[in-house]
Structure 1
Amino acid sequence: MDKFIEYILQFGNLNKQQIDLIRSKGTEIDLSRDEYYWEAGKTVKQIGFLTDGVIRVYYYNNKGEEITRYFIDENHLILSGNTIDEVYTPSEYLSAITDCNLVVFTRKDWREILDTIIGWDSIVQKIITKHHNEKIARRSELVSQDGAERYLDFIQKFPTLVNRVPLSYIASYLGITQSSLSRIRKNVR
């Protein structure tokens, strides 16, 4: 919980009572490797903040192949839907790549924090904007790059993930085969 509080304080000021409210509403949970945070087709019932570990966002294409869309690492808020009140049923899976620790809030508790703390929505919006800009920066160049450039870009933009994520997931994220990635890695060293 301390990591979550430290993180949100970078985006706005909160007094002790507000922090105590947040602490009282959040629950820390652990996800083991390969355990789902959420699954496609199942309604999402909580908002989460990843304090430790890596989660993979993926889906199945029309050929039944797993496609890695994104990686979520530490200090990222995992929201569902466009608004807190929206019932969200994802078409993607969020699965722990490593053992993970999260702070989670029920929708009801998140709503209570939002209704009680003046400026909470502003703090959350700043966090969302930061994460959205990071995501765009990480994904935008992939379309025009060849496999080697994508991998080098991945190393630069996800320096902490390269040794924590299986090569098959990185290859899927980069849109190349695992054997191509192995050749690229051999030539890059």
Structure 2
Amino acid sequence: MERLKELLAVECSFKPSDKLLDDFLKPAELVELRKGEILIMSGRLEPNIYIVKDGVIRYSYMDGIKEVTYVFALPGSIIIAMHSFYAHLPAFYQVEACCKSAVFKIPQSHYEHLVATSHEFAQWALRYAQGQLFFLEKKDSVVNGNAKERYLSLIKKRPEIIQKVPLKYIASYLGITQPYLSYLKKQLQNK
């Protein structure tokens, strides 16, 4: 649990106290996932909060024609189906494990109680949310350029994704086909 608290503290510019993180994690229930197991099903209500303990978790959606990988969550990341959490609507994204993974489940009611009763927690939650918005924008600056540049950037900046995630999901994330990603991978190995 100490490593998870360290990762949660690093994800945000506001450094929470150990007591705050202990209070936040107090009701946490461990959920273990097999590779490919769905944590949050698109179209279903899921207002709970999850924190990635181990593994890699993938957000995806259907664009009408194909499945698109939107983002990956690594240890220390908080997963929230915002449609469900905020608006009490069915989840938009499907969230699943890319490899054997573990997450902690925290009830929405506990999170909301801490926001209402702890100024420190409310500050941390706001800064964490702002940080997530920053990282989504940063993703667009990291995963840009031509396909080869995007792949090289991912190798350099997020090697754990390259190591643990199936090629088809990485290709979807990069916006290229799996055969083209295999070609790029082979081309780089031959250099």
Shared fold (TM-score, shorter chain, > 0.5): yes
Residue ranges of structure 1 left out of the alignment (5+ in a row): none
Q: Does the CA-based 8 Å contact 2:50-2:104 persist in structure 1?
A: yes
Aligned match of 2:52 in 50, 53, 60? Answer: 50
Matched, 1:14 2:17: yes
The CA deviation string for residues 58-92 of structure 1, in whole angstroms up to 9 with x for no partner, is 112212x2111111111111123279553142222
8 Å CA contact 1:138–1:157 kept in 2: the answer is no
Residue 45 of structure 1 and its aligned partner are, at CA, apart by 2.5
**Aligned-partner Cα distance in 1 for 2:72–2:21:** 29
Superposed CA deviations along residues 6-40 of structure 1, whole A, max 9, x for unmatched, are 33455334364x45533432222212211111011
Q: Give the conservation status (yes or no) of the 8 Å contact 1:56–1:70.
A: yes
Query: Structure 2 matches for 1:99-138, cutoff 5 A?
Result: 99-138=100-139
Q: Confirm whether residue 175 of structure 1 aligns to residue 178 of structure 2.
A: no
Q: Secondary structure at the match of 1:169?
A: helix
Deviates more, 1:96-105 or 1:86-95: 86-95
AA of the residue aligned to 2:104: V
- Please tell me whether the aligned partners of residues 83 and 92 of structure 2 are also in contact (alpha carbons under 8 angstroms): no
1:13 & 1:62 partners in 2: Cα distance? Answer: 41
Pair 88,52 (structure 1): closer, same or farther in 2 beyond 3 Å: farther
Q: Which residue of 1 aligns with 2:5?
A: 5
Q: Kindly tell me: are residues 100 and 88 of structure 1, through their superposed partners in 2, closer, same or farther at Cα, counting changes over 3 Å?
A: farther
Unpaired runs of at least 5, structure 2? none
Pair 1:15–1:176, CA change in 2 (3 A): closer
1:135-163: per-residue Cα shift (whole Å, max 9, x none)?
A: 322223545x2211111122122122111
Percent pairwise identity: 24
Q: Give distance in 2, aligned partners of 1:152 and 1:9.
A: 28
3-state secondary structure, aligned to 2:131: helix
> Is the CA contact 1:39–1:90 (under 8 Å) kept in the aligned structure 2?
yes
Matched, 1:32 2:34: yes
Normalised by the length of structure 2, the TM-score is 0.85
Superposition TM-score, scaled by structure 1 size:
0.86
Higher share of residues assigned helix: 2
AA paired with 1:60? M
Residue 64 of structure 2 is matched in structure 1 by 62
Deviating above 6 A after TM superposition, structure 1's stretches of 4 or more consecutive aligned residues are: none
Q: Secondary structure at the match of 2:135?
A: helix
Letter in 2 for 1:135: L
- Number of residue pairs aligned between Structure 1 and Structure 2: 186
Name the SS of the counterpart of 2:161 in structure 1: coil
- Cα distance between partner residues in 2 of 1:79 and 1:115: 18
**2:185 maps to what in 1?**
185
